[in-house]
Structures are given as structure tokens and as C-alpha cells.
Amino acid sequence: MLAVLEAFAVIAIIIVVGAIVGRRNVLGDNARMVLNRVAFHVGVPALVLLSLSDSDPAQVFSWPLLVSAVTTLIVFAGYFVIAVTLRRSDRADATIGAWAASWVNAGNLGIPLSAYVLGSITEVSALIVFQTVLLVPLGVAIINSGGRDGGSVAAQIKGLVTNPIIVASAIGTVLGLTGTTLPRAIHQPLELLADLAIPTVLLAFGIALVTQTGGTGKESRVDLWLAVVFKVLLMPALAYVLARWAFGLSPEQTAIATVLAALPAAQNLNTYASVFERGEKLARDATLITTLASVPVIAGIAYLLGL
């Protein structure tokens, strides 16, 4: 438990530094964008590639990933059905809420949290791939079916295959499956680039907390708190139940699946809400509230499951 609190302290300190930097505008108006781009295009891909290539394939295509995938789809579908049938939301707004309830922040917080708390980012790297390849296209397809144009199918496919994290994941997976070892001259530069991932995403997140912008919107507070309860409480509880009793996983695997499910709503949700001009306020508020609420929840899970 002490190690978990220390990990949160390390992460929190860097986020606070980012918030101070953002409040004082030390790095300029585009600091958050630049840091996110550095992380997205350089640091995180290098970290994911090395993690997957240096890992046992059994860790990547693992039971915790299956539990995470099943949990995500159940929560997404559950919120969507409630929003459409009981809340009378249209499909686009319901999809934004369903994403807020099920799409975990595997990149910005999942990677550093997994690195410090779980001691490995292999599982969260595989989760990033699942969410990007399946969950995001699923939501976009539902929104488009309601008349919102998110780009042609060809454009969406191109976006996936040119996504640096997906490309790095594919390369890392192939290297891991074939047992190929990268030459030292390539591995060491990648290690240096990978070291950029955690500090840049945490600094960018800290800046985002004090520079939040977004439309006012008319989303109901009921929709917001429904998404928050689904994300912070229901999702990790469901992951635990599935891992322990439905799949019979080991205590360690159950802990991994539960912690990953307890991660807050993904910040990328705000980008999609802005692009489709739906649920922007819900996305912004859900991201912030679930991030704050996830700290005591994950600490409690770590204590109860002996991490």
C-alpha cells in the first residue's frame, strides 16, 4: 500500500508542476499541445514498442486484457441503452456519454500509473490498442449512423494505420511474437525517447487542469453523474467480478484488470466531442471529475487487493 501511495505522490507532484507551469503560462499558449504531440508521436510510441517487444506474448494477449475488453463493451452498451431508452438522448449524445463511462485514460494516466503501481505497462499498452482499434471506431460509426460525418471509411482506416501508437504496437507485437531482439544501437535511442513519455503526458495533463476550455452545452447533470458512477464505481466492480468469478483469474491478474478498469475517462474523449460538436460539456466535466475520483478509488482497490 505504501508503494502505491508513493507512486501516486510521484505522479501528483509532476501534475502539480504542470498545473503551476500552465497557470503561469511559462511555456506559452501552445505548451499543452506541444507536450501532447511529443508524447503522442515520440515518447509513448517508443515506450509501447519497447514494452511489447521485450515482453512475453502471453502477457500481451492475456486474460486481464480479455476481461478489460469485455468490461469495456458491457459498460459502453449499458450506458448507451440507458441514455437512449430512459434519458431519451439521441445516438450521438448517448455515444459521448458511453465513451465517458467506458473509455479509460490508458495513455495519459494509465501508462505512468501502470509503470509505478503495477510495475509493467504491457497490459495497458495492449488496452490502448484495443480501445483505439475497436472502441473508438465503434463509437464513431454510431455517431455517423445518426447523420454526423466523421470522415469517410477510408479516412478513418488511414487514421488508424497511421496512428503512431498503433504502428509502434504492431511493430512491438511482431518483434515480441518472433522473439526478435533489437540491436543495441536501436534499443538505446528508443529507451531515451521512451523516457519522454511519462513526464510529458503528466505535465500536459497538469496544464490541462488549469486551462480547461469548452462550450457551455445543455447536457443534463443526470447524464454526467450517470457516466461518472459507471466509470468510477461500476466499471471496476464489474471487472473484479468478471476476473475473479467468471474467468477465475489469479489474484494478481484480477488486481491488474480491476485497476485498469478504475482509470478515469480518457482525455481523448474531449477531442471527439469537439469534432462532432456533441456532448462537449459532458466530456470535459466527466474527464475532470473521474480523474479526481479515481485517486481514492484506485488507492482503495490497491489496498484491498494487496498491491
| Secondary structure (H, E, C), 111-180 | HHHHHHHHCCCHHHHHHHHHHHHHHHHHHHHHHHHCCCCCCCHHHHHHHHHCCHHHHHHHHHHHHHHHCC
User: Dihedral angle at the C-alpha atoms of 133, 139, 145, 148, nearest 10 degrees?
Assistant: -110
Q: Answer with the residue of higher pLDDT: 55 or 302.
A: 302
Give me 97's grid cell.
456519454
Residue 216: the pLDDT is 44
* Lowest-confidence region among 26-35, 54-63, 131-140, 230-239: 54-63
Q: pLDDT at residue 282 above 50?
A: yes
Mean pLDDT of the chain: 83
Domain residues for the domain of 165 are: 1-305
Identity at 251, one-letter amino acid code: P
Cβ(16)–Cβ(24) below 8 Å: no
Mean pLDDT of 201-220: 68
Q: pLDDT at residue 227 above 90?
A: yes
Instruction: Give the angle 105-179-126 at the CA atoms, nearest 5°.
Output: 15
Residue 160: the pLDDT is 62
Tell me how many domains the chain contains.
Answer: 1
* Lowest-confidence region among 72-81, 120-129, 212-221, 234-243: 212-221
Confidence grade of residue 217 (pLDDT, cut at 50, 70, 90): very low
Cβ(239)–Cβ(261) below 8 Å: yes
Calpha distance 66→99 (Å, rounded):
19
Mean pLDDT of 221-246: 96
Q: Answer with the residue of higher pLDDT: 300 or 112.
A: 300
Sequence-ordered list of residues with C-beta below 8 angstroms from that of 104, at least 6 positions apart, any chain: 72, 110, 127, 131, 231, 235, 260, 261, 263, 264, 265, 266
Q: Positive or negative CA dihedral for 65, 71, 72, 77?
A: positive
Q: Answer with the residue of higher pLDDT: 197 or 3.
A: 197
CATH number (domain holding residue 281): 1.20.1530.20
Residue 104: φ, ψ to 5°: -85, 150
Q: How many CA atoms does the CB half-sphere of 159 hold within 13 Å?
A: 12
pTM: 0.76
In this predicted model, what pLDDT tens digit does every residue of 83-97 receive, in sequence order? Answer: 999 988 988 999 999
Residue 127: φ, ψ to 5°: -65, -40
Q: pLDDT at residue 188 above 90?
A: yes
Residue 106: the pLDDT is 82
Calpha distance 119→236 (Å, rounded):
20
Residue 228: the pLDDT is 97
Residue 192: the pLDDT is 94
In this predicted model, what pLDDT tens digit does every residue of 117-164 receive, in sequence order? Answer: 777 777 887 888 788 777 877 887 788 776 545 556 666 666 667 778
Chain centre distance of CA 78: 19
